[in-house]
Structure 1
């Protein structure tokens, strides 16, 4: 693919880190909640960065934006998180222009997910775009790109079976419980935290375990009650956490806290306890492993558990990539059209001026001159000429910038300033 400049003064970058190189502890340092995302967007706007998309999930944290240098975005991320530039550089990736576009397509369609075919990321992209739009930090490029990724994601979901089986952390956690715990329906399950992963896990637990002994606890009790009402579950106060842990067999932790909320000192249970920590940063201290009756599993370990359908899902990767290329080709065509549209419009205006001058001259010179018919023929010729130039720019193997410059010089075009 040609290495087009996407902006006259800056390039489009993706900077980030993911599960591929960054351990959960490191990802935790760079994780972003909604207030942090808002702060980054506002800071970027103040610094003159054009358009920004911030994505933060349990598997990755990424910034997509137009900037003069990727370090502007790296510093922005480090200024608003617990991580340092040095830590980021050890595990980071940076993509520029069309490589950055490719990366967003892979992420948004589940091909870059920790669990292949995980489509939960697409809702994160939608929410991130909405937050940027709210702060006036989007542009037609970002909007069209996000819509194209969403379109590719829908097509892959509808036209392939890449999303069959355990395709999310929440489903993988329930699958793990079903595989590891006998007679799950007789066990007490406590879900601490009702964020997105918590809600999805709760839904999967109800669907797949037929368990009427699920208790919810959240710092904000109203949120837990809203979810519990939907599934007819028990809700307890945050102050009852220690007591409820003592009663439970399986503890699922999915809070958005920035520091561990469950530690060894909180656990006083004599029966076997399985803890699943689905949080980034980690919300369960590693010291709980020192207790002889406690088993702790973190989401990174869950994501490594392959299910029976994985091989089948992998077979659909080529078809998914073909769909991405199809949608991406349309996006690049749109991008190119936006770039050369001002030149084509200026060319058309110049030719129309030449036509008007010539018709005026001929009408004065020729007595029976049919100005209406001459105008019609001339405008059809102008339409064909400009279309020919547009097709050349769209399909030429030459550098588009050189072609645009040549057309401007030959016809002495003056482009309208934006």
Structure 2
């Protein structure tokens, strides 16, 4: 695939490090927004980009002449403004953007150290971009390299020892702050990825059988409940279930609050955990004295001995990232001579076609099929020799490329 001249590879975005949950919510990308950005990117001449939107970050990786093009794409399709973005954002370019993706995908940049759930987002984003024709060889190779690094870190280090996700942190919080947890009524509202993981952790660690699931699409809740023999209620029963619960966990993908003060009539203590971005529990519930509201940003601040121990494995993870990053950069270096090899092949093919035309006129019994086979094999062997030389002699490959261009009088295009 061709990369346009004067473009660079950028990673633009915001995360939990500088943007609180409310601001992150302004830039959260719904599935509809992602589709819109991919369509809009094509109209702006962008050849390759990848979208990531999780509870703790929103990012765009892509090629553009200037990062503001990608920033405008994000702001045009979310509630966020350019001014708001600039207050909390980061912009990484070329090698720095590559390094950033490795850190994100490896769990080193996660809100909870070692949380690898972002890898699923990178895979999903790459698939969507590829289906839209917006994933060039550079970005696809980079994503695959990050996935490799993530897998090696999981298997070769204990950076992700135990559970590390926000969903586990929520269950850990409940177990630390609620007495007789196995006897409490728990409502889980939302059965997306975070909801499913939270449900699994609840069943595993609390031994609670009084867990009810609600989802706008009931069959999705039933699919999750079936694995653990849990109860499912209709969305229309949400208010009723909230008021008979001791703990409510909200993990929906809604763009606006779905739980608010007027839904709550119970006077008994009620713990509400909001694991959603944007926030799905209205702040007005804090007006009720019996309500304790905890957001995922609060959960991420929880540290324990296990989390502290994981920090010891950061150097080992960074070594793995370095090794795979070196491999990726070596692959990038080979790309600079790909256009030259292609140009040589085209030049030799043109010479072959010209010679064929001459021989057809000279020879009545010219065997074009046999000549085509022999000449094509020779062209491939010649170009392979050039490619081998350039790969093996990387220190002087720039000089070799210029000499080859001069000898063959080549015009090449820049590829990625």
Mark yes or no: TM-score above 0.5.
yes
| CA distance, structure 1, for counterparts of residue 48 and residue 390 of structure 2 | 31
Change (3 A) 1:173 1:332: same
| CA distance, structure 2, for counterparts of residue 46 and residue 383 of structure 1 | 38
2:209 is the counterpart of 1:219: no
> What's 1:312 paired with?
309
Q: Tell me by how many angstroms 1:384 deviates.
A: 7.0
**Structure 2 unaligned blocks of 5 or more:** 356-379
TM-score scaled by structure 2? 0.87
Q: Tell me by how many angstroms 1:381 deviates.
A: 11
> What's 2:391 paired with?
390
| CA distance, structure 2, for counterparts of residue 22 and residue 94 of structure 1 | 14
Change (3 A) 1:34 1:401: farther
| CA distance, structure 2, for counterparts of residue 17 and residue 380 of structure 1 | 49
| CA distance, structure 2, for counterparts of residue 281 and residue 416 of structure 1 | 44
> What's 1:167 paired with?
164
Change (3 A) 1:402 1:101: farther
Helix, strand or coil at the partner of 2:61: strand
Contact 1:351-1:382 at 8 Å conserved across structures: no
Contact 2:341-2:386 at 8 Å conserved across structures: no
Q: Tell me by how many angstroms 1:192 deviates.
A: 0.7
| CA distance, structure 1, for counterparts of residue 381 and residue 398 of structure 2 | 27
Change (3 A) 1:417 1:113: closer
Change (3 A) 1:144 1:214: same
Helix, strand or coil at the partner of 1:50: coil
Q: Tell me by how many angstroms 1:227 deviates.
A: 0.9
Q: Tell me by how many angstroms 1:249 deviates.
A: 0.5
2:191 is the counterpart of 1:200: no
Helix, strand or coil at the partner of 1:61: strand
Q: Tell me by how many angstroms 1:341 deviates.
A: 2.5
Contact 1:165-1:307 at 8 Å conserved across structures: no
Q: Tell me by how many angstroms 1:410 deviates.
A: 6.0
| CA distance, structure 2, for counterparts of residue 45 and residue 382 of structure 1 | 34
Helix, strand or coil at the partner of 1:255: coil
Helix, strand or coil at the partner of 2:48: strand
> What's 1:246 paired with?
243
| CA distance, structure 2, for counterparts of residue 188 and residue 159 of structure 1 | 40
Contact 1:117-1:162 at 8 Å conserved across structures: yes
> What's 1:39 paired with?
36
Deviations 1:352-383 (A, max 9, x none): 99xxx9xxxxxxxxxxxxxxxxxxxxx99997
The correspondence of residues 15-414 of structure 1 with structure 2, limited to 5 A, is 15-344=12-341, 387-392=388-393, 394-395=394-395, 404-405=401-402, 407-409=404-406, 412-414=409-411
Deviations 1:232-290 (A, max 9, x none): 11111111111111111100000111111111111111111111000000111112112
Contact 2:182-2:208 at 8 Å conserved across structures: yes
Q: Tell me by how many angstroms 1:388 deviates.
A: 4.2
Change (3 A) 1:348 1:172: same
* RCO higher in structure (CA 8 A, sep ≥6): 2
Helix, strand or coil at the partner of 1:327: helix
Helix, strand or coil at the partner of 2:337: helix
Change (3 A) 1:219 1:69: same
**Structure 1 unaligned blocks of 5 or more:** 1-5, 358-378
Contact 2:192-2:253 at 8 Å conserved across structures: yes
Q: Tell me by how many angstroms 1:344 deviates.
A: 4.7
Change (3 A) 1:277 1:382: closer
Helix, strand or coil at the partner of 1:16: strand
Helix, strand or coil at the partner of 2:92: strand
Q: Tell me by how many angstroms 1:148 deviates.
A: 0.6
Compare 6-15 and 408-417 and name the one that shifted more.
408-417
| CA distance, structure 2, for counterparts of residue 246 and residue 402 of structure 1 | 75
Helix, strand or coil at the partner of 2:289: coil
| CA distance, structure 2, for counterparts of residue 382 and residue 129 of structure 1 | 32
Q: Tell me by how many angstroms 1:349 deviates.
A: 8.8
